[in-house]
Structure 1
Amino acid sequence: MPLSVYDADEEAVSPSSAYRTNTVTHSDSQRYLSTRGEDIGFRFQDTVLNSLSSDGGFYLPEGTPKLSLSDLTKWKDLSFRDVALAIFSIFISPVEIPAEHLGQIVDASLAGLPNASFAPVTRVDQHHGLYLAELYHGPGGLHDGFGLKALGVFLDYFLEKENMSLAGQEKHHVTVIDGLAGDVGFAAGQAFRGRRNVSFVSLQPSTETPSTGTSESPDISGTNVHVIGMKSASSQDTKIFFLTSYTPEQQIARQLARESKTGSVQDLETLLCGSWPRTLAGIASYFYVYFQIARKVPSLKFGRDKVSFGIPTTDWDIIAAFVARRMGLPVERIIVATSQPDGPLDRLWATGRYESESQAGNNNSAPAMMTTTATWKSEHLENNDEASLSLGQHAVQTEPEFLVSGHVERLFWFLAYDFVTMAGHDIMDAEWDRRQAGGEIQTWLRKLRSKGGFGPVYQDVLESGRRCFGCERTGRPQVQGTVAEVYQGCGGLVVDLGAAAAIKASIKSIKTEKMAGSRSQATVHVVLGLGDPALKVEDLEEALGGLARTQGVSTCLQKVLNRSRELDEMRAAGRIDMHIMAESMDEVKAAVETITWAAVERTE
């Protein structure tokens, strides 16, 4: 066993390296490529164990199957569990995960989630055929509870599979470092809990005084989830991380992952940014929501009538909706709700140019669909010199390789691929088309890196995006008003600000289409509720305080308030685990090493 997880041999490889698939064992949808166009033929296992391809790109399936009406009909009465299993089976070869094991993985990923009432659907507007699908019934009150748990279970499965052949040898183990310390980090900690081959470490700011000896010998028995309290975050040892507007905890998480030679330490934000398994879980959710709507709305002609989805600005859900649409789910448009006065995606559809916030002269707000921006060193990328690029939410000053989030880059790849296949008129084969699409991505990112933007993109690419996407801007007063309107008009139903923004955006989109005389094929509009209102009751107090006092607290609102207290209690219980305190980067690294090797020894 090496002395440190950071001192491993430079030639050491992760368990997913040096393997390529073939057409006998894997279909097109079960083989994976990089969005950068240089690497192809990956397994699903590679997408789980590595956040990025070796060329710095993100994983995508080489093919996306188109489902028939007959396929959809077979699925329409399935439980969410079976819909998810069907989706996973399309993208995962049984050579990698036998059908029986895949079913067990889905069951483990759904454990503790309300499968019987997964994604309940409620009508929220009587005039526009608008429905709300609640997708937040998971760990921590977030929409991707299933996706987060699936990622942890898949990661554990493949590590266990590799470790079975290592009797008497050092076992593979991954430690995920969370520098977010917010709702996502809390939910991820809940989702990763109990995984045998994965440890989860959350870095959180703390003013507590370290108890004697905890830095040297933390008590880590009986759990794989740990909290390190970052005391004196402004100390000299951590000042080197204030190169960007990321928190010190985020910077340290990235640095620890960057220094790991074999991928045994991974940064949660980067892991989630590129997570294909998480996207598959999202795709399954969209199919299931459509089936729910079909049961709720008898007038909808199943498989023929289309729906439009309204989504708060969350790129992971947007790419999942986009892929579901490509697979044949009857989706008319994806309406993105944004508070941006002029976001990058909004400008792209309007002008044909994509620009970073610094280029557009707006440095203080997060760009639409760019909610996660990470950094990663890739030897294959050009212009790896230090630079200062403002990307809105995060001003990245070193290693600007992720100029857009992984899911936005995937969207760009699909648009480029569609253009290449149309322009090629079937002259070249599919592999050539895929590599050309990757080449377009490389070109766009070089221009984004050097000039702060790219475009105008080809008109066909632009029209393809406009047909699929719409961006609608909503201000906070409008959103708060929508929360109140839903509460009054839907029997005391409570929605969070994100869902309210998507409701407002969907209504605006419907009205805009009618005014323009557009013949939209969408007969139903569905808004996704991605966050439990209980997560931010202060927002509800601001939006509903007056109504609750004059009209009384509805049953739904009382349940939300009760859940809020339960979440607070869960977080308080989690803070008890803050038995490791650190005042410097070296102390954090030492604690992570102790946690990792203790976990490895327990599995030997």
Structure 2
Amino acid sequence: MKYISTRGHSARLKFEQVVFAGLAPDGGFYVPDHVPTIPFSILETFQSMRFDEIAFEILSLFIDPNEIPRDDLRKIICDTLSKFDHPFITPLRHVDADQDLWILELFHGPSLSFKDFAMQFLGNLFDYFLQRKSIVERICIVGASNGDIGSAAVEGFKNKKHIELFLLHPLGKVSHVQEKQMTSVKEENIHNIAIKGSLDDCRDIVKGLFEDSHFRYSHKLAAINTVNWARIMIEIVYYFYAFFRIQEYHSSDLEIQHFRSVRFSIPSGSFGNALACYYAKLLGLPIHSIIVATNENDIMHRFLSKGIYEKNVLIETMSPAMDIQTASNFERFLFEITNRDSAFVNQSVHRMDVDRKIVLPPPIFNGIKEVFKSAAINQKQYPIMATKAPILLDPHSAIGIAAAERVLPSNPKSTKLVCPRRPSCTWARPFIP
């Protein structure tokens, strides 16, 4: 497996090079040079696997054994999961029999963030590659966060002696708990910087640093945001694990001739989690459909419902992780839905600079509508906490369920609905209509 740029003008790289590179030199995003398809006969064996075993199988598809020997990869995964407080890592909870609604709990890591799996893995991965070098380098990891990534990154990278972590976050726009998680650590390799602006402003600064080649290489910058392919690759595991746990629940002998249909409703900001779900489908997981849930900052909902990607005015809400007007992983998504057409991606990037919007051709738009549904939940018109789920939800998770209720007013019994759930500590400031 090698990696290519979505814009088609950068050299093919190995996995280790991509982990450290972040953005490609041509400004594009790194993706695998092909997406393998897992045969049905192999998929069936996943049903009896633990989380760590599924993680190993998925990550092995994207990492050459000559770069990370299989025993080493197993150890990295084991070390990553050792910080979780639940034996199933991301357990499923059946919360609504009428809608057949399942909650995928993503908050059992050390910081209670749904990014813990990715950040723990990345921390161990960077450490593994750095310690293997004959001359150990010291790298600077730069990231932007409004809470989830920041608190998880602190837990994943603190006390890593070869790594300096710099986190940018929007001043006053992070939940109180996660602000404390980021800014109250005493480890000398953790540096927090508050920016007067939005999360998009923080991301623009980070992107600018990586686009400055001299600065990037002289300071040995590396990325933890979803510009780093490893972040997407890791989150693919969630969807395989959830899918097969549901199959197991509905089967007495674990011998399923026909997989049951599963829909995922995913709260979306940067579109990384939803993109990981889409890659799971491309790998062969028979997902019925993917519901992309947004708040009033609905750039991806407008794209998926109208085929037009266009920025709007940023609105601050009580679900701050979704307060964006630039979906970081949109370019990877565009690359995949256009059958990996780097020329079209380049044209689209140019159009965005000139026309401030991208319009999908009808054949491509009609194709994505077969897989993707979407909804924008306006807090003033549709109170996001007034959902049918009989459990306490944070605003982000509630948007995922509210969107599913809007898109699927009556979920058919033949289809299971799964929504990722974050913990209540991701609440931001009180919302006043």
TM-score normalized with structure 2 length: 0.84
**Equivalent position of 1:525 in the other structure:** 417
1:534 is matched with 425
Q: 1:184 aligns with which of 124, 128, 149?
A: 149
Q: Distance in 1 between matches of 2:281 and 2:204?
A: 36
Deviations 1:416-462 (A, max 9, x none): 11xxxxxxxxxxxxxxxx5xx1111000111111011122x222211
Q: Which amino acid aligns with 2:295?
A: S
2:57 maps to amino acid = A
Task: Name the residue aligned to 2:274.
Answer: 318
CA 1:440–1:174 in 2, change beyond 3 Å: closer, same or farther?
A: same
Take 1:521 and 1:59, find their aligned partners in 2: how far apart are those partners? Answer: 39
How far the C-alpha of 1:204 sits from its partner, in A, is 7.5
> Residue 370 of structure 2: SS of its match in structure 1?
helix
- The 5 A counterparts of 1:331-350 are 331-340=287-296, 343-350=298-305
Aligned pairs for 1:17-416 (under 5 A) are: 30-114=1-85, 116-161=87-132, 163-164=133-134, 166=135, 171-178=136-143, 180=145, 182-202=147-167, 223=187, 225-227=189-191, 245=198, 258=212, 260-262=215-217, 264-266=219-221, 271-298=224-251, 301=256, 304-314=259-269, 315-340=271-296, 343-357=298-312, 363-365=313-315, 393=324, 404-416=326-338
What amino acid sits opposite 1:468 in the alignment? V
**CA separation of 1:267 and 1:250: change in aligned 2, threshold 3 A:** farther
The answer to whether the 8 A contact 2:305-2:374 is kept is: no
Q: How far has the Cα of 1:99 moved from its partner?
A: 0.8
Residue 304 of structure 1 aligns to a residue whose secondary structure is coil
Cα distance in 2 for residues equivalent to 1:229 and 1:354 = 30
8 Å Cα contact 1:310/1:335 also seen in 2: yes
Tell me the CA shift for residue 152 of structure 1: 1.8
Q: What does residue range 498-509 of structure 1 map to in structure 2 within 5 Å?
A: 498-509=396-407
Which residue number corresponds to residue 464 of structure 1?
367
1:475 to 378, 396, 400: 378
- Unpaired segments ≥5 residues, structure 1: 1-29, 207-221, 234-241, 358-362, 373-391, 395-403, 418-433, 488-492, 515-519, 543-604
Which structure carries more helix by proportion?
1
Distance in 2 between residues matched to 1:127 and 1:110, nearest whole Å: 34
Paired residues of 2:377 and 2:402 also in contact (CA < 8 A): yes
Q: Among 329, 337, 343, which residue is 1:439 paired with?
A: 343
The answer on whether the counterparts of 2:144 and 2:199 sit within 8 Å (CA) in structure 1 is no
Is the Cα–Cα contact under 8 Å of residues 90 and 105 in structure 2 kept in the other structure? Answer: yes
SS in 1 for 2:98: coil
- Match runs of 1:582-597 below 5 Å: none
SS in 2 for 1:273: coil
- Compared CA separation, residues 521 and 41, structure 1 to 2 (3 A): farther
1:305-354 Cα offsets, whole Å, 9 max, x none, are 2200011113111110000001111101110112238x333333333332
3-state SS of 1:337 partner: strand
Relative to 1, partners in 2 of residues 1:252 and 1:56: Cα closer, same or farther, differing over 3 Å? closer
Q: Secondary structure at the match of 1:108?
A: helix
Q: Is the 8 A contact 1:371 1:405 kept in 2?
A: no
Instruction: State the distance in 1 between where 2:290 and 2:145 align.
Output: 28
Task: Report deviation, 1:82.
Answer: 0.9
Deviation, 1:228, is 5.5
**Is contact 1:204–1:229 with CA below 8 Å preserved after alignment?**
yes
After superposition, the Cα gap between the structure-2 partners of 1:266 and 1:471, relative to the gap in structure 1 and judged at 3 Å, is same
Change (3 A) 1:158 1:202: same
Residues 538-553 of structure 1: pairs in structure 2 closer than 5 A:
none
For the residue of structure 1 that corresponds to 2:384, the secondary structure is helix
The CA distance in 1 between the partners of 2:146 and 2:277, in whole Å, is: 27
SS in 1 for 2:34: coil
TM-score relative to the length of structure 1: 0.61
Q: Distance in 2 between the 1:537 and 1:302 partners?
A: 45
Q: Write the letter of the residue equivalent to 1:190.
A: E
**Cα distance between partner residues in 1 of 2:33 and 2:216:** 28
Asked which structure has the greater CA Rg, the reply is: 1
Cα 1:43–1:247 shift into 2, 3 Å: closer
Deviation of the 1:73 alpha carbon: 1.5
Counterpart for residue 486 of structure 1 = 389
Deviations 1:258-281 (A, max 9, x none): 46341635375xx41312111111
Q: Deviations over 1:89-139 (max 9, x none)?
A: 111001111111111111122221135122211122222211111112223
Bigger CA drift: 108-117 or 127-136? 108-117
> For residues 233-269 of structure 1, what are the alpha-carbon distances to aligned partners after superposition, in whole Å with 9 as ceiling and x for unaligned?
8xxxxxxxx7x7569977776676646341635375x
Gaps of 5+ in 2: 172-185
Runs of 4+ in 1 over 4 A off after TM superposition: 202-206, 244-259, 299-303
